[in-house]
Every structure is written in structure tokens, then in C-alpha cells.
Chain A
Amino acid sequence: MGVNMPSIPMSDGRPVTGAASVPPSAPPGTAILRARGVRRSFQMGDAVVTVLKGADLVVRGGEFVAIEGRSGSGKSTLMHLLGALDEADDGAIEYEGVDFVRMSSARRSRLRNTQFGFVFQFYHLLPELTVLENTLLAPMIQFSWLGFRSRRREFNARATELLDKLGMAHRLKHKPAQLSGGERQRVAIARALMNLPRILFADEPTGNLDLETGGQIMGLLETLHRRDGQTVVMVTHDRSIARQADRVLVLKDGKLINETLNPER
């Protein structure tokens, strides 16, 4: 099995092309993820808070979609639902035409492992693992102990190359606690990309970073999208960040009420 590496910029910002191959995806423009009338409520003490009140969304292959909304508007909830991390109370979310409801828990887990990648605001790296081990988490989960051991060199090479291109080659053996915020987010991106996901979900990826580091992270996502055709779904409360996407959806009152095509694209 060859090492399929998306081309991403190096730490100095100079874009490079990896072992050119894009993640497996439907032809650009084909809808791969569709949400219809999605509703989600939470019990908050005695009260029931309805966060999503019938959200509709279509994500097409190769596009960069930003979901913008104020804090507490439900954008993270929507991303979790789209990423099969949570289940909607009502409505349907389909991946490749298959409703999540019809998928078993194990199949949804497999989907998250092989088709989706997640980048969170707070990085969520495992503190006991090194940078390299964190990056290798997805294939380690995908394969059995024997299966992983038999392909360890291949996975190590891919992870190392990925981290190298993200400017983290010198930090392979470091623990997350020894890294800066920007470095941790780079490792989180490397982890999300390790299994060549069809959709990369990013939840406020720059929310915990300073302006410059946040800019670098956004540059990474943009490059992934533009050069490698990576489908990206990003949620953010920052309009300026959202505008870097192809398409911006605004989540308000539990619904995606506005859709803006980025004129610069």
C-alpha cells in the first residue's frame, strides 16, 4: 500500500506536494453528507433546551464549508451530529446516502475512523502518548495488534512525513505537555489526516490560538482543501475565519439560515 500524502505547506509556509494523491472521494461537487431537518435538544436541569430546530445542510465533495454562529448557537452540536459523534433527536443525516440511524454503533465508529477526521478547539491530544503515537492513533484503532505491527514501518513513515510537513518532525518523541498551542493543533491535524479522511471536521480550530498561530493553522486547512481537494467542514464564531471557506452557513435560532458563497473563491 502506497503512502498517500496530501500536499501541505511546510512550517515556513512554503507549500510542497506530497506523494500526490487526494483522499478517496466522490467526484467534486457530489453531495457526500446531507442533513435534513435535524433537531437536537438537551435536558438542562428541569428545562429542555432545543439547540437545533431543523437544520438542513449538504456537504459536497472537495468543498470547504464554514458554519458560523455565536457561542451557544449549536454549531458544535451540529458538527458532532454531522461527524457521527452524536445522534439527532429528529431529522436525518446521511453519509453517501446512508442514514446514520441505520448504521450500527460499530459502523459509525468505523466511519469516524476511516472517513472523518476531527480537529478540536482544545486539541484533545492524549497526554500519555508522544506526538508520533498521537498521530498514529487512527491506524492503531483501525488495525489489530498484529495488523498494525506488520505495517508499522509504513504507518510510521506516513506519520513522520505528515508531521514533517506540518513542521513537527523535531518533536516526534515529545509529549503534548511539552508543546505550544500551535504545535498541539498541528499534531491534532496530523492525527485527523492520518487515515486520509474524506471529510475533515474542524471545531473552532483557531479558537485557542493567538492570531498568528491561528493564521498558520487556517493556512494549513486552506492548503489541504485547495491543493488536495480535502473536504473541510469548519465551525467558528469568527466571521473573518469563516470567510476563508468556500461557503459560509450561519446558524441562528437552531437553523442554518443563510448561505454565502465566498466571492473570493
Chain B
Amino acid sequence: MYKVLLILKYLRRRYIAWVSLVAVALCTALVIIVISVMGGWLRMFRQSFHGLQGDILVQGQSLSGFPYYEEMVRRIEELPGVGPGCAAPVIHTYGLLSIAGIQTSGVQVLGYPIDKIGNVNNFDTSLYRQSIACRQAAEQLKDPKLPAPQRAIDQALVAAPATRPSFKLLPRQATAPLSRLPAEIAKLPQLSGAEVGYDPVAKQLAWKSADWIHEPIEELLLSRSSDAEYQKAVKQLVYASKWEAVDYAGLTKVGDKALRWAGMIVSTGIMGIEKDDDGQLAGRTPNEYRFAVTLTVPLIEANSAMADVGNAPHRPYWIVDDSHTGVYQNDQQTVYVPFDVIQHDLAMDIQKDDSGAEVTPARSSMIYVKVKAGYDLYAVKRQIAQIVRDVRAHQGVMIGYPVDVITWEESQKDFLGAVENEKSLVTFLMSLISVVAIMLILCIFYMIVVEKTRDIGVIKSVGATNAGVAGIFLGYGMAIGIVGSGLGLIGGYLVVHNINELHKAMGRWLGIQIWRPKVYMFDIIPNTMNPKEVAVIIAVAIVSAVIGSLLPAVLAAWKNPVEALRWE
């Protein structure tokens, strides 16, 4: 009883101990913040990559892919742990994306069978036009005060796509009649693209007319007109609109073939769409989903490491949507195209000779597999590996086209391992700070023990045992740990839950940006706390405080009561 009483009294009265209490609180808050951010980062990383890839990957070791994937897909889908539609072939390669003929950049290319991809990963939820905008529209429709024009737009958005996701163009809207083409544009001289690009008048005109300029062009193209007057006007508009980064110059050459162009979904980074200060993706233009681009991909010869760059096919696409997965590396330079289109361009479809006989079977780079809930991932992985072996053996593929069957975690093990190592390193560094706190507690408690020497003698003279005296200071240390870690928890919680706002404020007021999406791959700082991790941190803080008080407590316990009573 006296221990509890004295601990409570010391806790309230010994102000010097508050320094150690603050040290424990700061250390706890610091570790909670760091571990939460690092752990959250790792969690987000895992969730995002898991969401992008599916549960199990059958992955060719070469960009040339592997054959007989259809049979593998069919047999994998027959597994009870997978099910119909839950194995999707994917082509992975790299290419050059040309936008409006004025900007070319290297991109990662993923060929998706769009009708199945939603079954195996979360790609469909990353799409703006086909998912995010629809959700936002559905939310807005709940507002009874929504203006009628906006309501109509939202209703159209929610109702429009019959199947999602898709590589189809937006449903056509009512377009402006061609007669509305302004005379100023019709009067534009025939200038070369280079000249117009630097002409301030043309630039200004293009800018002002950006909203409506594309509608007549689209109308023109979709009507398959070959009227010379229109062609001339289109050429003029194309030059004027170069600042809008639209490759309509290419469209006029292609003519009515444009209708048959494939759709492409691009990552937000390609479109210059970035999060603004409020954390919202900004930078979309009204005509974004009518942009035309050209993708060039190098041919990789079957079962070879040779790339045929000279004969690399280039194909025009319509941009039909943008994707924001939250994973920086996917959101910067990635394009998603129809599986069969890119397979054809890469000559990964069935290759036949002149007589029509199959020379090379169709190939795929990967197969994404979604495993049903409740099934053991590794058991299904073994079954899939067996299927792959069986198919290869059956088709006589003994060597070449090396294939791995791995879980999504294994596919990212290098990166996940590095992140986990970084987390461990940071945790270790934070532990060193905790050691400093322990030393601080030790010093302060030693001072308190020295200061309380006579009281120790008094307590012993009244019958307290050595263990009892040690218990006072150990309990005092524990109380410091409990209160300090409690305060640290509150501080850590407040910081973690407002970390993005604090980061923004730091950027705004101090010009400091610590969290760089390019480095950390996510454009928001993780702001959730893991209760288990927090519990461990709190426990360690309390144990640390007790450890810090251990030596002073032992010294107090072993004090000779007579010497303690005589202490001055």
C-alpha cells in the first residue's frame, strides 16, 4: 500500500521526474509516428501491389513470354480454389508513347484482357471515368439541391457504361455543328506545325477555343468525311491546337480508320494529372478521353532475348480513361492496352506460315490468378505449378520459355524485403533513441534516490524490506512509463492522423517537403496506426522506463538504513 501511495505522491510532486516522463512521451510518440508511417507504407505497398497483380502469378522470365497459356488458364480456372474467369493472361512489355507528335516518353505497357481483369485484381477501381467519376457522380446525385445540368451529367455517367472496365471510347455527346467553326480559325494561314507552335496568336486562339474545338473535329472524323474543305479546316485546327497536345494531324492521315483504333488507359502521370494541395487529383481536361496517341513497342523474338527494334510496330490509340492506383511507379509511366491488340503487335499471337500451318503458338507474359477466400494460397500455388509443368510436358516444352509460379508477395520480395529492412533499420535507430531515454531516466532516478536517501532510511526503519524499497522505485519507473507512453500515444495519434495536413502546412509555411511520392511511391503519407504495433511500442516504453529505474531501485534497496538516516 505504501508503495502505491508513495509512487502517486512522487509522480505528482517530483517535478524533476517529469523530465523523464516527457522523454518517455516524446520517444513513444516518435516511435509510434515512425513505425506507423513505415508500417503503413509497407501495408499500403502490400495492399496496392496485391491489388494490382492478383494472388498468384505465372510469370515468364523473358519478355518473349511463354506459350500454351490458354490451356494453363483453362485448367487453372478449373481448380476449386480459383474458379471460372479468375485467371487472366497479361502481357508485360515496354514501349514508346508519342503524344501529339510533340512528346515521346518511355512507358511500361500492360496488355489486359479487360473483361476478366476485374476478376483478378483491383484495376477497375483505379479508373477515373469508369469508376471514380461514377462513384463521385453517384454521391453527388444524393444531393437534392444538385443543379439540373450537373444532375443530367452525373446520371449519364452513372448509367452510361454497360460493362466496366472497357477500352471503349466515351459515348458520343451531341456535338457542335461545323458551321460554328469560327471564321478566325478558318482564315488561319497554312502554317507548318513548327511555326504554329511558336506563334503566340495561334497559341492563344487554341487555348481559348480548346473546349469546343475538338467536338467538330470528332464530328468530322466520325462522319468519315473526305470533304476537302473540312480537311483543310481540320489541318488548320490541328496546327492551332497543338498546344493541347492532340495528335489530330495523324488523324487526318488515317481518316476513317480512326474509328477502329483501340482504346488505351493511361496512368495519371502521363496526362499530367497530379494531386493538388487538397489531395485531390487535378489537371484533367474535358477532352482528355479523346486524345490520340501512338504506341511503339519493340518486338521480342519468340524464345529469344533479341529485340527487333527496327521493325517495332507503332499503333495509334484513343485514350479512353486514366488510372490512379496509388502506386507511384504504376501511376507515372504505365499504359494499359487490350491484350489481343498488344499480343498481335508483339507477334505473340499464333504465328502461321504461308500454308496456314501454326509455326509459333500464342504467348503471354504472365497469368494473374485470383484465389478464392478461404483457400490456402500456397496449396493453390503448388497446384498451379503442377498444371504449368503438366501443360509444358504435354506440349513438349521441356526447355525454353522459363516460367515461375509465385505468389504476389514473392513477386515483390526484393522490394518488400528492402522496405521491411528499412523499417527494421528505422526501428533500430528509434530503439537507440529509447536507450538515451532509458539513460535519462536512470540519471534522474539516481538523483531522486540520492535526494530521497533519508526517506529510504525512514521507510526501512518502519519496516520496509529491501524488495519493498526497490518496488517503490521500480513502480515509480513503471508509472513514469505508463503515463509517459500514454501521453506519447495521444501525441503520436494526433500527429499520425493529421500527418498529411501537417505535411501540407509545412510545405506551405516552411517550403519543406519531406514525403516525396517519387521516392516513396505513394502520394499520401500513411496515416493509420496498427493497434498491435502500438501495443508493442507502449509495452516497450513501459519496460524501458522500468529498466531505466532498475539500477537506482537496486541502489535504493541496498542502502543501509542507518547510513540513509544520517544522510545529509
Interface residues of A (CB under 8 A from B): 77, 80, 83, 85-86, 105-106, 109-114, 118, 120, 124-129, 133, 137-138, 140-145, 147-149, 191
Contact = CB atoms under 8 A, between A and B. Distances in A.
Contacts of A112: 460-463
A124 B5 contact: no
Given A120-B565, A141-B462, A142-B463, 4 more contacts: A124-B458, A126-B459, A137-B462, A141-B463
Nearest to A126: B455
B454 A109 contact: no
B464 interface: yes
Contact of B562 (A86, A110, A137, A140): A86
Contacts of A106: 465, 467
B193 to A, nearest CB: 87
Given A85-B562, A124-B457, A114 B463 contact: yes
B6 to A, nearest CB: 7
Given A80-B562, A86-B562, A128-B9, A109 B2 contact: no
Contact of A137 (B2, B467, B560, B561): B2
A126 B463 contact: no
Nearest to B8: A128
B1 interface: yes
A140 B458 contact: no
A106 to B, nearest CB: 5
B339 interface: no
A9 B561 CA distance: 31
Given A110-B463, A124-B461, A141-B464, A149 B561 contact: no
Given A124-B565, A145-B1, A149-B1, A137 B465 contact: no
A65 to B, nearest CB: 19
Most buried by B among A105, A120, A129, A140: A140
A144 B1 contact: yes
B466 interface: yes
B1 A143 contact: yes
Contacts, number: 80
Nearest to B9: A128
A118 B461 contact: yes
Contact of B463 (A109, A129, A149): A109
A140 B9 contact: no
Contacts of B466: 105, 109
B468 A141 contact: yes
Nearest to B457: A124
Nearest to A112: B463
Classify chain B: how many residues form its interface, as a range. 20 to 34
B436 interface: no
B560 A86 contact: yes
A105 B10 CA distance: 26
Contacts of B539: none
28 contacts: A77-B562, A80-B562, A85-B460, A85-B565, A86-B561, A86-B562, A105-B466, A109-B466, A111-B463, A112-B460, A112-B462, A113-B462, A114-B463, A124-B565, A126-B6, A126-B459, A127-B455, A140-B1, A140-B2, A140-B5, A141-B2, A141-B459, A143-B1, A144-B1, A145-B1, A145-B3, A147-B1, A149-B1
A147 B13 CA distance: 26
A71 B168 CA distance: 106
Contacts of A141: 1-2, 459, 462-464, 468
Contacts of A85: 460-461, 561-562, 565
A126 B10 CA distance: 11
B275 to A, nearest CB: 55
Interface in B530-557: none
Contacts of B454: 124
B4 interface: yes
Contacts of A124: 454, 457-458, 461, 565
A129 B5 contact: yes
A110 B467 CA distance: 13
Interface in B452-495: 454-455, 457-468
B330 to A, nearest CB: 59
B153 to A, nearest CB: 70
Contact of B465 (A83, A105, A114, A147): A105
Contacts of A118: 461-462
Contacts of A114: 463
A112 B3 CA distance: 18
A137 B13 contact: no
Nearest to A105: B466
A203 to B, nearest CB: 9
Interface centre among B2, B4, B455, B464 (most CB of A within 10 A): B2
Nearest to A203: B565
B454 to A, nearest CB: 7
Nearest to A128: B9
Interface string B1-30: 111111001100100000000000000000
Nearest to B466: A105
Interface string B434-455: 0000000000000000000011
